Structure 1
Amino acid sequence: MNATLVLTLLLGGACVGSFINVVVWRLPREESVVWPGSHCPHCGHHVRWHDNLPVLGWMILRGRCRDCHQPIAVRYPLVEALTAGVWLSAGWAIGLDAPSAGGLSAILSLGTGVVLASLLLPLVLIDIDHLWLPEPLCRTGVILGWLATALMVASTALPTSTLLHHLIAAAAGLVILESLSALAERLVGQPALGLGDAKLAAMAGAWLGLAGLGMAMGIAVMTGALFGSIGRISGRLKPKQPFPFGPFIALGIWLVWLTGPQWWWQHWLNFLSV
């Protein structure tokens, strides 16, 4: 195990998680995610650099603002820790010794993985909070997915047709989910999915291709249906009460990116044959 890489992924992920907290708070409020710097939402005082250390800052302050002593939500260090863990899972998927042994392609795979994770996490959190998937983030995700594919084609033995394949997959994800939503609205009087879900599916296609898109959406549908069923049975969700589907699409995207669609397909076939 490459201890230096593990530490880099954990520290880098935690720092990016701190920025993700800013994005999740400010973007729905149409505030700049860059200016002003981090400040307490209660008293407005700027957060000192040593209080802004990921996870540790919250622990040192014991979860309260240094100036007004109002509570700081535990969600902030949890998001930082989650981002660090997801970044580490990207390293695990590539192989923690791969960047030093596998050359440029392994470095690119790891780099694109942490970029993908850092795009998915704010989308998930904003959708949970507001039932909204910001179009600028989804659009950026599609563009970066194409760029990541182009880099992998240029640096590995992947055929040049892979880029066209991912372009088609992105368009397919957008069109299919928008069509399903429109069909549901015509049949039952309300859309089954939001337009943001279709844009997130386009992002899945740009990163994963057609096979990856199909598997990611399959995972999303199964986990979303399970969550919805448990919620209805337990009474936590009222009949026809909407709940965010973006987190399940994001989960499918990340799980397929970690292992590839073939791994999931093979295990699904093994499960059916039991």
Structure 2
Amino acid sequence: MAPDPLLLMVPRPSPFWLWLACLLGACIGSLLNVVAWRLPREESLVRPPSHCPHCGTRLRWHDNIPVLGWLLLRGRCRHCGAAISWRYPLVELLTAGLWVAALLATPSAMGPDPLPWTLVAAGWLLLSWLIPLTLIDLDRLWLPEPLCRNGLLLGLGCTALIGFAQGEGVGRDLLFHHLAAAGVGLLGFESVSAIAEKLAGRPALGLGDAKLAALLGAWLGLTGLGLTVALAVLGGAAVGIVGRLSGRLGPLQPLPFGPFLTAGGAAVWLLGHDFWLHQLGLAF
């Protein structure tokens, strides 16, 4: 596919902004680790301050430096020697990478002529919001309803702000389509889950997946939601087949679908509708 000439005219961020986004993203990733750990345990996100989950000792300020703190500690608590999961620096690196990618992204979901920095800010918010949902679903096979609900409201709020900044007509149309997409995501997944449960005799999709689909619809619109679901189904099928054939997944072992939805949503936001329509052979 030939690149859009208009996109070639858009100035790319300078190295300063890329490095700043990387640094800020890593710091946000450190916070998201806390959310993913404490929220399922119904702990405060603020108190107590960062501490070792094994011995309870409060961490020093330099132990909390993203990635570097984990490396300096060699992945172990300096007080009790308990292992600190490699997931902490990995999430920080992932968030940093996504924040940089958001600066270079070409999202299609927020109208024909949005202000570039509003898209960047919205992208940072969406991509960061999806990370704890992914981690919690991987850990618990559970998508917290407050995260899904508030993420949906934030999506509609960003849609309204970015849409009406482009004109009243654009704002109304954009908000209507994103509201419709949220409803389609919720009701569509609930219907598919009910049908699959009747056919298989056991739950196939959780209600959390329906709420997550509604959240993604609020951010991405109908086309974006459809592409997200297509990518999630393809990714989930590939991982499921490999897992079953390799013996890593048992015949009845559940596979969380939320991470595939979040990955699909992030991919659609970062690369835009046209890219994925062409890749999936859906462009006419």
Mapped contact 1:177–1:197 kept (Cα < 8 A): yes
TM-score (norm 1): 0.92
- 1:149 counterpart letter in structure 2: T
TM-score for the superposition, normalised by structure 2: 0.89
**TM-aligned CA deviation for residue 154 of structure 1:** 2.2
After TM superposition, give the deviation of residue 270 of structure 1 in Å. Answer: 7.8
Larger RCO, structures 1/2 (Cα 8 Å, 6+ apart): 2
Please, which moves more after superposition, 154-163 or 214-223? 154-163
Partner residue, 1:211: 223
CA contact (8 A) 2:106 2:269 kept: no
Question: Quick check: 1:109 aligned with 2:119?
Answer: yes
List aligned pairs for 1:1-274, cutoff 5 A.
Answer: 1-94=13-106, 105-156=115-166, 158-269=170-281
Q: CA offset at residue 104 of structure 1? A: 7.5
Q: Distance in 2 between matches of 1:267 and 1:188?
A: 32
Measure the CA separation in 2 of the matches of 1:104 and 1:185: 42
Q: Distance in 1 between matches of 2:228 and 2:192?
A: 16
Preserved CA contact (<8 Å) 1:166 1:209: yes
SS of equivalent to 2:115:
helix
Alpha-carbon distance change, 154 to 88 in structure 1, aligned in 2, over 3 angstroms: same
DSSP-derived class of the 2:264 partner: helix
Letter in 1 for 2:275: W
> How large is the Cα RMSD of the aligned pairs?
1.8
Residues in 1 aligned to 2:74 and 2:271: alpha-carbon distance in whole angstroms: 38
For each residue in 1:150-205, what CA deviation from the matched residue of structure 2 results, as whole angstroms up to 9, or x when unmatched? Answer: 11112225342110110111011000000110111112211210111000100111
Deviation at 1:266, TM superposition (A): 2.0
Deviation at 1:73, TM superposition (A): 1.3
Q: C-alpha deviations, 1:72-117, integer Å up to 9, x for none? A: 111111111111011111112159xxxxxxx981110000001001
% identical aligned pairs: 54
Contact kept, 8 Å, 1:94 with 1:110, in 2: the verdict is no
- 1:42-86 Cα deviation digits (max 9, x unpaired): 111111111111011111112121222222111111111111011
Give yes or no for contact 2:122–2:158 (8 Å, CA) kept in 1. Answer: yes
- Structure 1: gaps (5+ residues): 96-102
Q: Note if contact 1:139-1:199 (Cα within 8 Å) is conserved in structure 2.
A: yes
1:217-253: CA deviation from partner (whole Å, max 9, x where unpaired):
0000011011101111111111121111101000111
State how far apart, in whole Å, the 2-side matches of 1:239 and 1:69 are.
38
Q: Which runs of 5+ in 2 are unaligned?
A: 1-12, 108-112
Partners in 2 of 1:86 and 1:259 — Cα distance? Answer: 12
* Alpha-carbon distance in structure 2 between the residues aligned to 1:214 and 1:258: 15
Equivalents in 1 of 2:280, 2:196: separation in Å? 28
- Conservation of the 8 A alpha-carbon contact between 1:94 and 1:106: no
Structure 1 segments, 4+ long, off by >4 Å, are: none
